[in-house]
Structure 1
Amino acid sequence: MSNFIKRWNQLSLVKRIIIGLIVGIILAVTIPNVAKPITIFGSLFVGALKSVAPILVFFLVTSAISQHKSGQKTTMKSVIILYLLGTFLAGLVAVIVSFMFPVTLTLGAGIESITPPGGVVEVLKTLLLNVVDNPVKALYNANYIGILSWALLLGLALKNAPESTKTMISNASDALSQIVRWVINFAPLGIMGLVFDTIATQGIKSLLSYGQLLLVLVGSMLFVSLVVNPIITFIMIRQNPYPLVLKCLKDSGITAFFTRSSAANIPVNMRLCDELGLDKDSYSVSIPLGATINMAGAAITISILTLAAVNTLGIQVDIGTALILSLLSAVSACGASGVAGGSLLLIPLACSLFGIPNDVAMQVVGVGFVIGVIQDSCETALNSSTDVLFTAVSEFAEWRKEGKKIVIPKK
C-alpha cells in the first residue's frame, strides 16, 4: 500500500484527475446504485474549496496591499483591460456565430417562478451594493466584490502598521495557502464523485434534443479559448501563445469544468499563478477580481440563447443591434456573479432589447437549465482559465519589455 501511495503521489495532479475522471465514468455506467455513496467526495471537495476561498482571498489581498511599497510596479491596469476586452470579444464572437449558424428553440410552458434582474442599471446597482456589503456577510456569502473592497481598505489602513502585524497577516495568508494545497491534493477523488453524480443523475438523453444549440455554444467557447485568446496572448508577449493557453486550460479549466464554480476554482488558479512564477501581490487581487468580472463564457451564453429566442420568434436583427447586444451581454456578464442564478437569469435582460416578453424569455432560461450540465461546465472552464491566462499575459508582457525570458513550466 505504501508503494502504491508513493507512486500515486509521483503522478502529476492532472494525470491523477484524469484517472479519477475515468473511474467515475466507469462506476456511473456499470454500477450506479452500488457506487452512489462516492458522490460525497464531490460535495466535500467543492464545499472545501468554496469554504477556504473567501478567507484565503481576504488575507492574501490584505497582506499584499499592506506590504506594497510605493512605486512598486503592478499589472492590474492591463489585467482589467484584458478582462473587459476579452468579455466583449466573446460576446461579439457569439453574435457572429449565431448569424452563421442560426438556432431555433421549441418553447413550451413557463418554468418555476424566479425573478431576473430588471435591467442593466439594476445589475450595476447590485454590483455597487456588493462593494459596501457588511464584511462578515461578504465572507459568509462569498461576495468577492465585497471581500476585495474590505481587504483593499484594511490593507491600505495597515500600510503604516508595525512589521510584526504585517508578518502575522502574511503568516495567516501562507497557512491558508497550505490548506488550499492539501485540499487540491484530493481533487482526483472530488472529480470522481462529481462526474459520477452528473452521469448517474443527469445522463445525456435529455441533452440530445438540444444538440445544435450545444454545438453552437461549446463551439463558440472553444473558438474563444483556442483562437481569440491565443491572438490576444501573442500580441501581448510576441511568442507562441499555445503553451501558456493550453497549460491554463489543462491546470485550471479541467477542475473548473467539473466544479462548475469560479469561486471554488480561485485556490486552484492561485496555485497555478504561483507555479508560473507570477507576482503574488498582483495575482492575489486579479484572480478573485476575474472570478467576478471576467465572464467571457457568460457573455457567449447570454448572446447565443438570446439570438436563439430571436430566431424562434422570427425577429429581424440588423448589424447595429447585434453590436449593441455584444456590448450589453458583456456588461451584463460582468454582473452575473452578483445575481442569483448566474448568466442564465440575465437572458431576459438581453431579450428585452428585442421586445421579447418576459414569459417567453423565461422559457429560454428554462432551456438553459436543461443544457446547464454542459453549458455551465464549459462556461466556467473558459471563465476561470482565462483569469489565469490574462493575469500571466499582463505580467509576461512586462517581462518581455525588461528583456526577461518567458518560460512556461511543462509539468
Structure 2
Amino acid sequence: MKKLGLLSRLVLAIVLGIVIGSVAPEWVVRGLVTLSSIFGNFLSFMIPLIIIGFVAPGIGDLGQGAGKLLALTVLIAYGSTLFAGSLAFFVDSALFPHLVETAASHVGGNPEEALLKPFFAIDMPKIMDVMSALVFAFVMGVGMAQVKSRSLSNGMKEFQSIIEKVLGGFIIPLLPLLICGTFANLTYVGEVQMLLKTFAKVYFVIIGLHLTVIAIQYTVACVVAGRNPIKAIITMIPAYVTAIGTQSSAATIPVTLRQTKENGVSEDVADFVIPLCATIHLSGSTITITSCAVAVMMMHGMSFSFATMFPFIMMLGLMMVAAPGVPGGAIMAALGVLQSMLGFGPDMQALMIALYIAQDSFGTACNVTGDGAIAILVDRLKDMFIPKAKEAA
C-alpha cells in the first residue's frame, strides 16, 4: 500500500467500500463505519490545530517579508483566487441543478438519517472551535510579523512541523479508511450509484472551469503586458503537465520558473513571484473546493446563495495560503471553514476529501499555470508602479 500514491489508495478504498457495502452483512458495515467514525472524530479534533499550525506561521512569514512587490503579488494572487471561486459558484449554480441528483430522492427524507450509525462513538472534543482557532492564528501571525520575535516564530514553525508529521504520517495515510467506511455506508443504503454519476459530471465542469480561468488569467496579463496569450499558454504546458504528475505546486517550481522566464518575465521577478505564488495562489484548488461544496450541498438538499458562499470563498483563499505541502493538503486546510461556515458534518467532509483528491492533480496544474500569468502581470506593473521593486522585495 505504501508504494501506491494517495489517489490510487483512495480509488482502492472506494472500490472496497462499494464491494463491502454490496455483499457484507449489516454488522460488518457498521464495524467499518465505527472505525471510520473514530478516525473522523480525531480528524475533527485536529482541525483547529491544523489551522493554527499553518495559518499563523504563513501570515508571520508574509508579514516579515513585507515590501511593495510582495504586497502587489499577494493582492493579485488573492484577487485571482476570489475571481476563480466566484466564477465557479455562478457556473455551478447554473449547471449543477441539471446535473446533480438529490440523495434524498433516492433514500427518502434526510440522507444523513438513512446512513448506518457506528456501534459506539469516542468523543474527542476540540480544544477550541474553528472560528476561535482562525482568530487566534491571525492574531499570532500578525503579532509575529510586528514583534519580529525569532523565538516565537521558531516555536510556531516547530509546532507546524509537528502538525505536518501528524498529517503526513497518520492522517493522510489513514484517509482511505475514512473513505472506505463512507462508501460502504453509502452503498449499503443505496446512494452510491447516484453519487458516482454525480462525481463524473462534477469533474467535467471543474476541469472546464480550470481551463477557462487559465485562459482568462493569461488574456488579462498579456493584454496588460502587450504579449500573445496563446503563445504564453503554450509555453507553460510543460509546467501544467509536470504538476499533473507531481500533484505539488512546490515540486513543480523548477519547471514553472523555467517556463515563466521563457515567457519573457525578468529573472528577478520570476525568482520572487513563482515560489511565493506556489504557496499563496490556489485558483484551481478554490474552483475545485467551491464546486465540490456546491455539489455536496445540492446532493443533501441544503440551500445556499452567493451571499453565503462568497464569505466562504474569501476565507478559503486565506486558509489555503497555509495549505501543507502534501497531496490533498488544500482540502485538509479547508475542512475548518467547510465545517464552521457551511455546516459540513463528518460524512460530508469525507465526500469532499474523496471528490477533491480524485482530481487534485488537475487543480494543482491550474494553480501553477496561473502563477506564470501572475508573474507576467507583476513584471509589467512593477515597472509602472514600483520602480524600485527589487529593493522593496
Change (3 A) 1:122 1:246: farther
Distance 1:344 1:105 in 2: 23
1:223 aligns with 212
Distance 2:276 2:379 in 1: 16
Change (3 A) 1:257 1:279: same
Tell me if structure 2 keeps the 8 A contact 1:283–1:391. yes
Aligned: 1:93 with 2:82: no
What residue identity is the alignment partner of 1:377? S
2:258 aligns with 271
Tell me if structure 1 keeps the 8 A contact 2:232–2:263. no
SS at match of 1:314: coil
1:6-405 superposed matches below 5 A: 75-102=69-96, 103-104=100-101, 119=130, 122=133, 132-133=153-154, 210-226=199-215, 228-248=216-236, 250-337=237-324, 341-345=328-332, 346-347=334-335, 349-356=337-344, 358-368=345-355, 372-373=357-358, 375-398=359-382
SS at match of 1:364: helix
Tell me if structure 1 keeps the 8 A contact 2:257–2:274. yes
SS at match of 1:377: helix
Q: What per-residue deviation string (whole Å, max 9, x for no partner) do you get for residues 196-226 of structure 1?
A: xxxxxxxxxx976621111122122122112
Tell me if structure 2 keeps the 8 A contact 1:348–1:362. no
SS at match of 2:93: helix
Tell me if structure 1 keeps the 8 A contact 2:101–2:198. no
Q: TM-score with structure 1 length normalisation?
A: 0.53
Q: What per-residue deviation string (whole Å, max 9, x for no partner) do you get for residues 88-116 of structure 1?
A: 111101111110112357676799x9999
1:408 aligns with none
Distance 1:239 1:275 in 2: 13
Change (3 A) 1:312 1:257: same
Q: What per-residue deviation string (whole Å, max 9, x for no partner) do you get for residues 21-51 of structure 1?
A: xxxxxxxxxxxxxxxxxxxxxxxxxxxxxxx
Change (3 A) 1:314 1:241: same
Kindly tell me the number of residue pairs found equivalent between the two proteins. Answer: 264
Q: What per-residue deviation string (whole Å, max 9, x for no partner) do you get for residues 168-196 of structure 1?
A: xxxxxxxxxxxxxxxxxxxxxxxxxxxxx
Distance 2:285 2:85 in 1: 8
What residue identity is the alignment partner of 1:260? Q
Give the gaps of 5 or more residues in structure 2. 1-64, 104-110, 146-152, 165-194, 387-393
Change (3 A) 1:219 1:124: farther
Tell me if structure 2 keeps the 8 A contact 1:347–1:361. no
Change (3 A) 1:243 1:340: closer
What residue identity is the alignment partner of 1:86? S
SS at match of 1:337: coil
Distance 1:340 1:284 in 2: 24
Distance 1:359 1:348 in 2: 11
Change (3 A) 1:314 1:80: same
Q: What per-residue deviation string (whole Å, max 9, x for no partner) do you get for residues 125-151 of structure 1?
A: 66866982469969989x9xxxxxxxx
Change (3 A) 1:121 1:138: closer
Change (3 A) 1:396 1:124: farther
Distance 2:304 2:220 in 1: 29
Q: TM-score with structure 2 length normalisation?
A: 0.55
Tell me if structure 2 keeps the 8 A contact 1:218–1:378. yes
Tell me if structure 2 keeps the 8 A contact 1:74–1:282. no
Change (3 A) 1:125 1:267: farther
> Aligned-pair distance for 1:381?
0.3
Tell me if structure 2 keeps the 8 A contact 1:126–1:338. no
What residue identity is the alignment partner of 2:369? S
> Aligned-pair distance for 1:83?
0.6
What residue identity is the alignment partner of 1:313? H
Tell me if structure 2 keeps the 8 A contact 1:109–1:363. no
Change (3 A) 1:105 1:347: farther
Give the gaps of 5 or more residues in structure 1. 1-64, 66-72, 144-205, 403-411
What residue identity is the alignment partner of 2:259? L
Q: CA RMSD in A?
A: 4.2
Query: Percentage identity across aligned positions?
Result: 21
Is the deviation greater in 82-91 or in 129-138?
129-138
